[in-house]
Amino acid sequence: MFIGVDVMKSIHVRYSPCNENEEQGTIVTITPSIQSHSKVIEQLTVHLCDSPINEKLWYDGDIRCQDGQSMLIYEWTPSSSTSPFRINGGQGFYFNQTRSIILTIIYRKERRLHKEQSGITLQVSHIIPRLQMATMLVGNKQKGTHFSCRSSNSPHLIYAIKQLNPSENKFWWRMHLIYVRYFGRKLIQPVFDSKLKSNIAQTNIEMTVPDLFLMKGDYLLIECENTSQSNCYFLIYYIYDSKLTKNNNMCEENSFSSLFKLVTSREILPTNQTITNALNIDGSTIFAAVCMLLLVIWISIIVGCVIM
């Protein structure tokens, strides 16, 4: 998907398949192609519309999804990398005749560009996987430093996270999951900390630790550096089973500031701490584990006496 532009502030292009075999598939790789005029580009995005769009090209304005439902699947800004974003494990973003792929390029100001050829390259697989990829937008556009939301669907397997429109100064941010389980117990799972982990691939899309499930009723906490230049707004990539549940990319925002008291303060974190897959366990969990251990020992003693 490449374009040549005239005079405008933004341009929208709908993906047009070359033949019937390309009308459906799964997007597995997105590669930005930014030409020499990249300094005039403010933002490049790719959306999936849940409805067909007749227009192939239009200037300025909105994406124009007929039902208003669109899903952001990729963003590039001048502080981003041009490395490909590859989705592993056979998953990807599914599209067909009823879903439209929209490329949008926003320029810093309205002007005439000559022979501009910025765009994206999509690698599409014709294998339709059972597990599909989707995204949700979470965070605070208004320069807030703390955000919390509660999942309204079940289940989501978190795949990756991208900070939207990040600053070139790379301000820190971190994310946690709070699992709500039986008897109201809350288990804390670190998801990502920008100071403790770096993106080796330099795609600006951070891969999370494996097996991070966001279930119905769980909380997602985001904390960002307290500065006017930081952007606490994120795109979360997740995998779901399209045959078992209808996709719902809502994470209902709440103001449960008390939840952040469960997370270790950044000021007292050890410098050599690393993110692991282990859960932080509260006192009630330890007590339950001890009781279970004593029960197993008691049963073992009884069985031993019966055998003797």
Q: Which of 214, 227, 263, 251 is nearest to 138 (CA)?
A: 251
Q: Which of 172, 209, 176, 210 is nearest to 194 (CA)?
A: 172
Spans of the chain below 50 pLDDT: 4-5, 200-201, 269-286, 290
Report whether the peptide linkage leading into residue 155 is cis, meaning its omega lies within 30 degrees of zero: yes
pLDDT score for 142: 65
The full set of domains in the chain, from first to last, is: 1-129 (2.60.120.310), 131-277 (2.60.120)
Q: Please answer whether residues 137 and 220 qualify as being in contact, where contact means their C-beta atoms are separated by less than 8 angstroms.
A: no
pLDDT score for 75: 93
- Quickly count: other Cβ atoms within 10 Å of residue 216's Cβ: 14
pLDDT score for 46: 94
pLDDT score for 201: 47
pLDDT score for 169: 66
pLDDT score for 11: 84
pLDDT score for 279: 34
pLDDT score for 93: 93
State the Cα–Cα distance between residues 45 and 31, nearest whole angstrom.
12
Burial code of 26-61, b = ≥16 C-beta within 10 A, e = fewer?
bbbebebebeeeeeebebbbbbbbeeebeeeebeee
pLDDT score for 157: 87
Residues for the chain: how many in total?
A: 308
Q: Please answer whether residues 162 and 233 qualify as being in contact, where contact means their C-beta atoms are separated by less than 8 angstroms.
A: no
